[in-house]
Amino acid sequence: MLSGYSLAQPNSYIKGLVVDSQTNEPIAYANIGFISIGKGTSTDEYGMYELRLPNGDDFDPLQVSAIGYYSIKVSVLEALQTDTLKLKPRTYEFEEIRVSDRKPKNKWIGKKIRPIMPGAFGASGPGKTIGAAFAFKIEWQDRLPLRPLNARLFLNENLNDSLRIRCRFMSIDDSGNPGKDLIPLSYIHTTDKKSGWVTCNFTDDLLLINEKQFYVVFEWLKMSNSKNVAPLFSKSVHMNVNPLVKRQPFGEWKEIDWANNLVYGLKVEY
């Protein structure tokens, strides 16, 4: 891929493609990066990636991961010598679904209606570089399993031609941060809205969560043919939530004061 390349060169990049090892189909929005230093990127909608290398010669292996696939680690040299990185699909065993004649109930967690006179967070001030993920901790007090119907964030301003958001449900790891995906499917919503609710809809699938505590995660996915200006999401003093923020793939999850009270909603059936 690169001729005469030295790992010591500053501002060096590696480029390539991530594909399914069985079908050779590109994998959109896979994550690739260095866990130890919290630096990484995502493939675009065509499975292509470009990653800037840190200065120096002593690198940890690159980790490549995607929802529904086994993660792999490859050396930087190996990544430089191949155009294509392959991920093997995971197989999942789903719990048995018990049929009941009880009429299910619906409940909103977070905000059900649009905020009135909201503030904004994301494209200005300290949040200028935000573009990776917000994670909202859910503490469920009722019966299990619960079925997520939709998850949404309230968009204050979008300067892009299109905006793409991925929604995930993740376990809580030993440090209290988002851990593994509870649902091995990728739900992505693309919109040209300039403001309003941005919603991932799950009603076409029977998704079940058997955890009392988990995270609902919203990721801003950069698009190859868009300006990729960080969107502004709304805040409300009535939310009383403290989401975790991650600036980039493999970055560190942090609770940041100026991200508090972001407006989100999660509708569930139980």
> What's the pLDDT tens digit per position in 153-202?
999 888 888 888 999 999 999 999 999 999 988 899 999 999 999 999 99
pLDDT-wise least confident of 22-26, 191-195, 253-257: 253-257
Which pTM value belongs to this model?
Answer: 0.84
Could you say which architecture CATH assigns to the domain 106-269? Sandwich (2.60)
Give pLDDT, residue 128: 41
Nearest to 136 by CA among 219, 54, 24, 16: 219
Could you say which architecture CATH assigns to the domain 13-87? Sandwich (2.60)
Domain with CATH 2.60.40.1120 in the chain: 13-87
pLDDT-wise least confident of 195-199, 224-228, 241-245: 224-228
Domain with CATH 2.60.120 in the chain: 106-269
Strand partners, 196: 155
Give pLDDT, residue 116: 62
Q: Is the pLDDT assigned to residue 53 strictly greater than 80? A: yes
Instruction: Report residue 93's pLDDT band, with 50, 70 and 90 as the boundaries.
Output: low
Q: Is the pLDDT assigned to residue 127 strictly greater than 50? A: no
- What percentage of residues in the chain have a pLDDT greater than 70? 83
Dmax (CA) for the chain in angstroms is 68
